[in-house]
């Protein structure tokens, strides 16, 4: 299987997923990503104090260009000149930062001894017990550290040469099936780990055991919870507001619990075979919804069906490029339920709106159109001429 990287025009560079997995495995060797062959962190090692900018407000206008790998900090700092607002938390007093760091260490432990020290049934329900986190942390160090870094900030040693790896520390994820919360189900994370993200450097870890992928998902959840509590606390402190990190932790755990118990994706309707009359009618209805001149319509961001997208800023202060539906690969997955989840719940982290007012049938119609759009033979003649004008 290959991961395809968009290039200029129609040029594409295909990289074998197996090669990427091999590169991840090489981080076990001395000198590769700073790791040794042992899966254990030194017992006296602590998570680093956050020193990068907090993004408090995004620019209102579309982004002028996509990001350059290796320039994350410079491009986030430039948001201030574009109408956004960022703040460097290194300006907080030593006393304030010291109290914050003490809370984080007492509550979340260290890389060698991760924990969530709070009395809550949610911790056990989400499989975030000390035993789970200890094993997950070892796997994370072996397979994920090079890109996502120790604290999950996405600033690992590989980050200077590839599109920015995900920063977990705001507790936001793009591809979830739990609705508008931005929190994934455990199964969402496991699937991303197992299959990777197409057209990105995130490889498949399908060669790991199912239990190992589940442990990794739990450890990513832990880093996201720790990071969100840290982010929201620092944001409040920077604004001179009262901060109660313990209350923030309880609220964040409740968000993850809510995501895990969210209603499932509705059953897919039977529209007959692809290209059949029922399927073609659904594609037509989906095309009409996609191109409707209404607020939050698909075409307003996915210009020319994604060939001329409107670049957006995401919650991390980096640039998100709406999908090109004339291409075969969707980063978030092309299964019908994947597309349904994106349309119904949106992608809050990148400003893609949810569509709660659409009926399930209308969302499935959009799914039919989006999944058929790359294949000219699957489009009815009238839709084909609109999507691919001569």
The residue assigned the tokens 């996502």 is: 148
Report the chain (390 residues): mean pLDDT per 10 consecutive residues.
Answer: 37 39 40 48 95 96 93 96 95 88 97 95 96 98 97 92 94 93 93 94 96 98 99 94 95 96 96 97 99 94 97 97 95 94 96 96 99 98 97
Please provide residue 320's backbone torsions phi and psi, each rounded to the nearest 5 degrees.
-110, 135
Torsion of CA 303, 309, 311, 314, to 10 degrees: 90
5 forms beta bridges with 13
Write down the domain spans for the chain.
17-260, 277-387
Distance of alpha carbon 248 from alpha carbon 253, whole angstroms: 9
Question: Which letter, b or e, does each residue of 220-247 get, where b requires 16 or more Cβ atoms within 10 Å of its Cβ?
Answer: bbbbbbbbbbbbbbbbebbeeeebebee
Residue 325: what pLDDT?
97
SS3 state of residue 302: strand
Helix pair angle (94-108, 210-238), 10° resolution: 160
3-state SS of the chain: helix, strand, coil percent to 5? 45, 10, 45
Give the Cβ contact number of residue 265 at 10 Å: 18
Residue 38: what pLDDT?
52
The stretches of 121-209 forming alpha helices (DSSP H) are 121-125, 130-143, 145-148, 186-195
Class in CATH terms, 277-387: mainly alpha
């Amino acid at each position: 299987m290959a991961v395809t990287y968009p290039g200029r025009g129609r040029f594409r560079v295909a990289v074998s997923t197996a090669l990427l997995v091999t590169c991840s495995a090489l981080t076990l060797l001395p000198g590769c990503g700073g790791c040794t062959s042992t899966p254990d962190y030194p017992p006296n090692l602590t998570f680093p104090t956050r020193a990068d900018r907090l993004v408090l407000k995004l620019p209102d206008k579309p982004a002028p260009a996509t990001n350059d790998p290796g320039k994350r900090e410079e491009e986030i700092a430039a948001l201030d000149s574009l109408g956004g607002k960022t703040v460097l938390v290194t300006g907080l007093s030593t006393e304030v930062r010291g109290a914050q760091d003490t809370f984080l260490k007492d509550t979340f432990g260290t890389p060698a001894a991760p924990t969530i020290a709070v009395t809550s049934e949610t911790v056990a329900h989400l499989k975030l017990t000390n035993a789970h986190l200890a094993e997950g942390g070892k796997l994370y160090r072996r397979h994920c550290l090079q890109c996502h870094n120790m604290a999950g900030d996405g600033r690992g040693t590989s980050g200077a040469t590839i599109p920015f790896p995900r920063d977990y520390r705001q507790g936001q994820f793009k591809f979830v099936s739990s609705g508008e919360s931005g929190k994934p189900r455990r199964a969402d994370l496991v699937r991303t780990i197992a299959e990777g993200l197409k057209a990105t450097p995130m490889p498949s870890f399908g060669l790991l055991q199912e239990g190992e992928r589940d442990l990794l998902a739990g450890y990513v959840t832990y880093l996201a919870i720790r990071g969100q509590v840290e982010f929201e606390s620092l944001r409040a402190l920077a604004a001179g507001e009262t901060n109660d990190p313990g209350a923030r932790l309880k609220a964040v755990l409740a968000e993850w619990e809510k995501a895990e118990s969210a209603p499932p994706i509705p059953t897919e309707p039977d529209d007959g075979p692809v290209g059949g009359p029922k399927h073609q009618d659904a594609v037509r209805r989906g095309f009409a919804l996609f191109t409707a001149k209404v607020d939050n319509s698909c075409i307003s961001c996915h210009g020319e069906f994604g060939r001329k997208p409107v670049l957006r800023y995401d919650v991390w202060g980096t640039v998100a490029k709406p999908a090109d539906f004339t291409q075969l690969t969707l980063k978030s997955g092309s299964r019908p339920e994947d597309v349904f989840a994106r349309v119904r719940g949106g992608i809050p982290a990148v400003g893609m709106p949810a569509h709660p007012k659409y009926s399930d049938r209308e969302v499935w119609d959009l799914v039919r159109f989006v999944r058929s759009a790359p294949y000219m033979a699957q489009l009815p003649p009238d839709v084909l001429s609109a999507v691919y004008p001569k």
